[in-house]
Amino acid sequence: MSLLPLLVAYSGDIPTKRTLLEELGVVLGFIGLGLFGIQFLFSGRIKQVAPSFGVDNIVQFHKEIGIVAIIFVLSHPILLLVSDWEYISFYDPRENLPRAAALFFATFGMIALLSTSLWRVSTGLNYEWWRLIHGVLGFSLVFIGIVHSIQVGHYLNEFYKIAFFILFFGSLVYLLVHARMVRPYMAKKDPFIIKEILPRKDDCYTLRLEKKSAEPFRFLPGQFTWITISHTPFSLQQHPFSFSSSAENSILEITAKRIGDFTNTWKYLQPGQTAFLEGPFGSFTLKEKPCFLVMGGIGVTPGISFLKTLADRKDQRKCILIYGNESWKKIPFREELDRLKNQINLKLIHVLEKPDKDWDGEKGLIDEKLVTKYLPEDLNEFDYYICGPGQMMDKAELTFRKQGVDWRNIYAERFDFV
């Protein structure tokens, strides 16, 4: 798909060839433009795209391909200038002010796009502002790229080529309008009410949400939603949270640990307030086989949804949960897990990083030795699910692979993917 702009530009009546360096610069520019375009497809939360690839993979792809796209597009002016310095006139405001302004904006915009993405956390850039800047820059850069290609017109010299580029841009506008206007508008027509706010251990809060309309909200255990808590869904504050309730229950629950400006507000929410949900999303869902879960802290929420759903469905398949927390007092779903142990076929292994003196269970951080100790004999009869702190997830995944678990049976959900 990303090669389409290049193929269309180089189709039909091709003008006289230029130097190899110039052609390479143009080719990289068109491929970069195509790569920029497909970013909208993958970051537009299209349900048909997400299930086939998984959110983690999509975000990883978005990050890596985004960097490649920026490098390709930046090489376009560099290669042209190296091949012929006369191209500097494109940046000369005396020759054409709008063109020079747009190209300066595009060049520095790409550098800004890359650096704000790579160093957002270390520079302390607020997530909502970053997301706004990221979207505006990404969209403007594609727009400038397309206008620039048409304006130069060296390859876009026939009507059908120009029509393709306009259509290409139109489809990106459609994806953007759908994600930022149509979906919030649909969410506005179908709001939720916060029924209850339940405080939990380790500074966590559960929101119990009920749909205002009678039409049920269906999700698969393990999926997540994007929630906005406001009088309008057209808000920058939209955050992803896994459901921590049974997929069989019409009252939905999401549970968050207080870590920042949005989750800090949960403590002060009042029953009766309105929330808007988008989704459900995600492919980290309960499959058919028995399950082996390695989870840490608040990363247990999708697992809680699995186990509660199994209990409601009276499903007695075998489940093993290795659950890491700092201490006994800080286990967010401790009581629920005890109850679930009596309802389903669950083997629960608590692992405490800083246990009390009298603790005789597993201690320390979840590592290879510990995971291996509890692996079932019939390894590939199980599905493996990992969610929690990054280091724990990496160790668990590596252990599964090392011990011979088929990679197709391993599922991971990262809460800190951006």
Ligand X SMILES: Cc1cc2nc3c(=O)[nH]c(=O)nc-3n(C[C@H](O)[C@H](O)[C@H](O)COP(=O)(O)OP(=O)(O)OC[C@H]3O[C@@H](n4cnc5c(N)ncnc54)[C@H](O)[C@@H]3O)c2cc1C
Residue 76 DSSP class: H
Closer residue to ligand X in complex, CB, 79/298: 298
For the four alpha carbons of 122, 125, 126 and 129, in that order, the dihedral sign comes to negative
Closer residue to ligand X in complex, CB, 101/121: 121
Helices (H), 10-119: 20-43, 50-53, 55-83, 97-118
Closer residue to ligand X in complex, CB, 107/305: 305
Alpha-carbon span 366 to 341, nearest angstrom:
21
Rg (CA), the chain: 25
Closer residue to ligand X in complex, CB, 24/418: 418
In the list 10, 61, 87, 417, the residue contacting ligand X (rule: CB under 6 A) is 417
53 binds ligand X (CB under 6 A): no
Alpha-carbon span 119 to 115, nearest angstrom:
6
228 binds ligand X (CB under 6 A): no
**Helix, strand or coil, per DSSP, at residue 232:** coil
42 binds ligand X (CB under 6 A): no
Which of these ranges, 18-26, 64-72, 189-197, 234-242, lies near ligand X under the rule CB under 6 A? 234-242
134 binds ligand X (CB under 6 A): no
In the list 76, 200, 208, 257, the residue contacting ligand X (rule: CB under 6 A) is 257
110 binds ligand X (CB under 6 A): no
Task: Tell me the number of residues near ligand X by CB under 6 A.
Answer: 24
Which of these ranges, 76-84, 227-235, 254-262, 267-275, lies near ligand X under the rule CB under 6 A? 254-262
**CB 244, CB 304: distance < 8 Å:** yes
Closer residue to ligand X in complex, CB, 30/40: 40
239 binds ligand X (CB under 6 A): yes
The least CB distance from residue 49 to ligand X, in Å, is 15
Burial zone of 91 (CB within 10 Å; 0-12 exposed, 13-18 middle, 19+ buried): middle
Which of these ranges, 3-11, 74-82, 342-350, 408-416, lies near ligand X under the rule CB under 6 A? 408-416
Query: Helix 334-343 and helix 301-312: axis angle, to 10°?
Result: 30
Which of these ranges, 25-33, 75-83, 135-143, 252-260, lies near ligand X under the rule CB under 6 A? 252-260
Residue linked to tokens 């459609």: 174
Which of these ranges, 23-31, 75-83, 145-153, 238-246, lies near ligand X under the rule CB under 6 A? 238-246
241 binds ligand X (CB under 6 A): yes
Alpha-carbon span 50 to 416, nearest angstrom:
17
Closer residue to ligand X in complex, CB, 145/332: 332
- The DSSP result for 38-63, as a single string, is HHHHHHS--TTTHHHH-HHHHHHHHH
Among positions 207-226, residues that touch ligand X (CB under 6 A) are 224
Residue linked to tokens 């640990």: 257
For the four alpha carbons of 119, 124, 125 and 127, in that order, the dihedral sign comes to positive
238 binds ligand X (CB under 6 A): yes
**Tokens describing residue 310:** 């199994």
The least CB distance from residue 307 to ligand X, in Å, is 14
Burial zone of 100 (CB within 10 Å; 0-12 exposed, 13-18 middle, 19+ buried): middle
Where on the chain is the footprint of ligand X (CB under 6 A)?
55, 121, 127, 224, 238-242, 255-257, 259-263, 298, 301, 413, 415-418
